[in-house]
Chains A and B, each alone.
Chain A
Amino acid sequence: MNSRLASLAVPACSTLLLTLGLAASAGLTMQGCESAPDAHIPGFSDGGLLREGRPLSREQLYAFEGGFDLTEGSDLLGDDLSIRTTIGTVSLLTDKEAGFAALGAACLPDDRVVLEGYWQYPTRAESGLVRLFVGPEDVAHQLCMGQTPAAAAGLELTGSYGEDDDFPRVPLALHWARELKPWRGRFFTVAHHGACEATDHCGVSQNSVESIRLSDRIGSNAVEIDVRATRDGIPVLFHDPGLSSALVRGLFCNGKISQLSLAELRGNCALRYGETIPTVAEALAAVVDSTEIEGVYLDVKVPEAMLPTTRIVNQVLSDLERRNSNDDPSDDRHVGIVVAIVSDENLQAWHSTKAALQAEGLSVPPCLVEYDPDLVLSEGCVAWGPTWTGGPQTSEVERLRQAGAMTVFWTINQTDFIDQYLKRSMPNGIISARAALLFHRYQKYGTPPELAGGAMPAVPAVSGAPPESAAPAPEAPAPAVPAPEAPDPGGADPNGAQP
């Protein structure tokens, strides 16, 4: 009996191990791509103080921009941070965990000015509430009187923060320390996939209209969005060829983007957080109408999306040009849009697209080449978009700069690499999923790129620039968009009748 038991024990044990291993791996397979990470955007249970106050105007918000040092709360946001503003939002941007706070601002009935909202570390499921009051009192009084303070110097923000939905009780205090380096129309903090990565906890899906709006609030002034074409030829925002569960949800959401019509895609699929998969037209409309984003980097993934995408870009740029050419400067809006050429296959599509547009009497929109810097010049493109893995490539960046072309590296999320590229290459922009981190590190170590004397076609003009009384103002005006062609070293006419 013992020998029989022994003979059974060996295969039984090995079987047990094998089975446990397979069961575990099968379980992991089931769970691996199960869902997007949980994201919690906290809110005040009673609605907060903002609902009792009068929102500050866009012009007044400029008064908050600057570099700030923290006297309390550095555990959360580090020792210093940058504050920039956009429509309805004051953004605190830090390099600690790429954290940010997106705050609304309002004047309360008792003459105090409150900044209220939430903070978040996008790479971790950590967030909480923030409430700050503006000091000194005379500055708050000025704001409540509808005036814009003459300078941000001396501005103090004092209050508290909390965890999750808990009422903010941990002291947080910061004071204005320095002006921001020029960034509007100069340096592009480009939001990767529209804002956050699929694995982040921002509460919005990548390549969604919602993510584009969020990117404007958390430190980006440009967005990189991915474009594919549906079966019926409508360009939509989506990164992967297939409808992976990492990006979409829906029982009937299966297949590839190219296999589905827009109606089928919209009827069957939603992005991970429930948003609609937007068309390029919808995304660009959101950029123009509901953000202060200055640049759009259209990463056209497939050749068949090239022509319909450029037609839409053309329409948007024409509408903007018309809007900006009227006598009312208050409604001016400048957005630079570049179409990325990411492969030789797409280059061929770009050539046929240019021919088609010219045959239709349409302008050819600005382009960007991702892989070969020589093509940037020979194709008359306005920018080079190298991957960071090729290194800072300082001499190539400088060569293109001399030729009037921009360089925008993709995609850098690590602090030390961001620093290295900012210091060594001094690029015109970097694509990153860590907008707050990139913006703040640019403020610390970046060199504002020079505008190349009108030869920088796609550099968006200053958008929503602060009034003269507010700090900081951009140092130099930027050309309007669509702008003139890049210089053509080869003597060819790369973009035809552009603009």
Chain B
Amino acid sequence: MRAGLVAYRGVALVFALAPSLAAQEAPVAESGNAAAGAREHEPTSSLELSAALGPSLVFGEPANPAFSESVGRVGVELAGAIAYRSSYFVDPRLEVGYAWLAHGRSELPSGPWGDGGALKQQLGTWLISPGISADIWRFRPRIGIGLSIVSQSNDFAGQTHSSTQLSLLSQAGLGFQVFEADSLRIDADARIVGIPGADLTFMSVGIVGRWDAVSFR
């Protein structure tokens, strides 16, 4: 959790500084920098759809190490987003995604619940997060806050049950554009998501495909 927070704060700091870098970028664009000036030749705004896929790594420890036999912290995150690429610096966006975060296995002794046995856990979360992003040269920093629906299933004594928990989330990410053709862009992307109400923090890296579905001139 603490490692996650440190990483998160690092990303947040970079992002917080990004607009000032952008302001410095503007004169360069005017002097003819092709990359920075590329957006001048694009439509002034567009409605952008995007999809992201990549592995995730969740932080945190099981509560009872004495019971825990194995924990898998690497999962997969899949997300889709819609963004309005405005003619201004900041683009509003709405993202919906799901992350398969972790799985584990514990061996419970006999107790007040009855006989012991293997307890298998699966942890995931839905993410619904409005936020903002910006294009700074090829970088695309973003932040968002929103809601998460943390879902967990437990398999014990031959029965599987699920539980859910609604919690606030915040996230920060940074994409780097590696490909561009017409209205299609592909980014390499990394982000960190914090769900403090559920004591969850995870980060993910992945590929993001972005497509201008509608252009406004």
Contact = CB atoms under 8 A, between A and B. Distances in A.
Given A26-B170, A30-B170, A266-B113, A1 B90 contact: no
Contacts of A22: 131-132, 143, 145
A31 interface: yes
Interface string A207-250: 00000000000000000000000011010000000111100111
A153 interface: no
Nearest to B198: A254
B158 interface: no
B71 interface: yes
Interface stretch (B58-66, B174-182, B208-216): B58-66
B interface residue count range (under 10 / 10 to 19 / 20 to 34 / 35 or more): 35 or more
B35 interface: no
B62 A250 contact: yes
B204 interface: no
A262 B64 contact: no
Interface stretch (A7-15, A393-401, A478-486): A7-15
B16 A23 contact: yes
Contact of B58 (A4, A231, A251): A251
A235 to B, nearest CB: 11
B19 interface: yes
Interface stretch (A128-136, A267-275, A379-387): A267-275
Contacts of B111: 262-263, 266
B12 A23 contact: yes
Nearest to B172: A26
A328 interface: no
Contacts of A352: none
Contact of B123 (A19, A26, A30, A251): A251
Kindly name the residue among B19, B90, B111, B201 whose own CB sees the greatest number of chain A CB atoms within 10 A: B19
Nearest to B27: A5
Given A1-B27, A16-B23, A253 B63 contact: yes
B30 A1 contact: yes
A15 B199 CA distance: 30
A250 B63 contact: yes
A326 interface: no
Contacts of B18: 19
A259 B198 contact: no
B104 to A, nearest CB: 6
A281 B102 CA distance: 33
B199 A266 contact: no
B27 A29 contact: no
Interface in A254-310: 254-256, 259-264, 266-270, 274, 279, 281-282
Contacts of B26: 4-5, 8, 12
A327 interface: no
B49 interface: no
Contacts of A33: 196-197, 199
A19 B132 contact: yes
Given A26-B145, A279-B112, A8 B23 contact: yes
A279 B119 CA distance: 20
Contacts of B16: 19-20, 23-24
B89 A15 contact: yes
Contacts of A231: 161
Contact of B132 (A8, A18, A30, A261): A18
Interface in B98-128: 102, 104, 106, 108, 111-114, 119, 121, 123
B186 interface: no
Nearest to A255: B163
A279 to B, nearest CB: 6
A404 B114 CA distance: 43
A12 B23 contact: yes
Contacts of B200: 251, 254
B71 to A, nearest CB: 7
Given A16-B19, A30-B8, A251-B200, 20 more contacts: A4-B26, A5-B27, A8-B26, A12-B22, A12-B26, A13-B23, A15-B134, A16-B20, A22-B131, A26-B194, A29-B170, A31-B5, A245-B196, A245-B197, A248-B199, A251-B62, A251-B102, A252-B63, A262-B111, A267-B106
Interface of A: 1, 4-5, 8-9, 11-13, 15-16, 18-20, 22-27, 29-35, 231-232, 234, 242-245, 248-256, 259-264, 266-270, 274, 279, 281-282
19 contacts: A1-B30, A5-B27, A9-B23, A15-B134, A19-B16, A27-B12, A30-B8, A33-B196, A34-B5, A231-B161, A250-B199, A254-B150, A254-B165, A261-B161, A263-B119, A263-B157, A264-B154, A266-B111, A268-B62
Closest 9 CB pairs of A and B: A255-B163, A250-B63, A245-B199, A259-B163, A26-B170, A263-B113, A270-B63, A30-B194, A12-B23
